[in-house]
Amino acid sequence: SAVQMRTSDEATADEMQNISVFEESADLYADEKHYPVVETQYSTGELGYNSFFVKNSTGFNLDIGHYLSRSLGFQTDSSNEPQVLIVHTHTSESYLTYDAGYYHESFYPRSSDENKNMIRVGLSIAEGLRKQGIGAIHATEFHDDPVYDGAYYRSYETMEKYIKEYPSIKVVLDIHRDSISYGENGGKVKPTFTYNGKKAAQIMIMAGYDPDGYYDFPFWEDNLTFALKIQDAAENMYPGMTRPLYFGNFAYNMNINNGSLLIEVGTDANTLAEAVYTGELLSNVLAKVLQSN
């Protein structure tokens, strides 16, 4: 079998589900063409600091230590009021359902099923934050289905709606998943790391740059500070969790407030179970950063 696992007597519930889905799918898609899934762990980059890396595409001379030494541009509190808003611009983005080392030709990495798309990952993050006493609102609106174009405009309107309704919101997290092609043979890249013997999807945090005001993003340095603190905490708590932080000339709705970030959880070649587990771990990282401020 292409699925490398322990014997059924020793397998976890997740692994048994993986075996069941794999066997069913192997029969269903037996006549379809396969494309490779290449598993990797991104661990290096052009700009390193402590145990993490940053991809800086701006030309700005980034002093990581300076930004890590800053306080966040906002403060959360221990009240019962919502502090964090989790939203999904590309809500229907989804993952593989099993880990076989390949995907089938008809694989379509989008779903309207809330148990299979980004809503399930966002739920994992929100639940983890609430368990640690941090009020979290999870927006489950679809912004890319049935119409993909204009998704960022629609998600910005959703963000504004929730911030107006809950002025206590300090943090806005737009949770996506990435897609990385491999070679010319239709392959896909699957970024993973392992914690406590369990495989998880690596994350990529994005932070925008706007020195000239083109994006109406005057507090980009606050958002960058927040991003770097999450990156640093993630690697200290769960080594290998992060791909290089992407610092670039964009806003992607991060100009909604000074605690707003876009985070990619894995790619379409990761499994949903891996992404959900990452959501749990990410909630711990976020709690650490917010409660330490």
CA angle 155, 159, 160 (to 5 degrees): 115
pLDDT recorded at residue 26: 54
Q: pLDDT at position 28, please? A: 57
- Return the pLDDT at 29: 61
Three-class DSSP labels, the chain: CCCCCCCCCCCCHHHHHHHHHHHHHHHHCCCCCEEEEEEECCCCCCEEECCEEEEECCCCCCCHHHHHHCCCCCCCCCCCCCCEEEECCCCCEECECCCCCEEECCCCCECCCCCCEHHHHHHHHHHHHHHCCCCEEECCCCCCCCCCCCHHHHHHHHHHHHHHHCCCCCEEEEEEEECCEECCCCEEEEEEEEECCEEEECEEEEEECCCCCCCCCCCHHHHHHHHHHHHHHHHHHCCCCECCEEEECCCCCHHHCCCEEEEEEEECCCEHHHHHHHHHHHHHHHHHHHHHC
Cα 202 to Cα 285: distance, rounded to the nearest angstrom? 13
Per-residue pLDDT of the chain (293 residues; tens, 9 = 90+): 233 333 334 445 555 555 445 455 555 566 789 899 999 999 887 899 989 999 999 999 999 999 999 999 999 887 889 999 999 999 999 999 999 999 999 999 999 999 999 999 999 999 999 999 999 999 999 999 999 999 999 999 999 999 999 999 999 999 999 999 988 788 999 999 999 999 999 999 999 999 999 999 999 999 999 999 999 999 999 999 999 999 999 999 999 999 999 999 999 999 999 999 999 999 999 999 999 88
pTM higher than 0.85: yes
Q: In this structure, how many other beta carbons lie within 10 angstroms of the beta carbon of residue 284?
A: 18
User: What per-residue confidence (pLDDT) applies to 1?
Assistant: 26
What pLDDT, on the 0 to 100 scale, is given for residue 7? 34
pLDDT at 78: 77
For 72, the token pair is: 């966040």
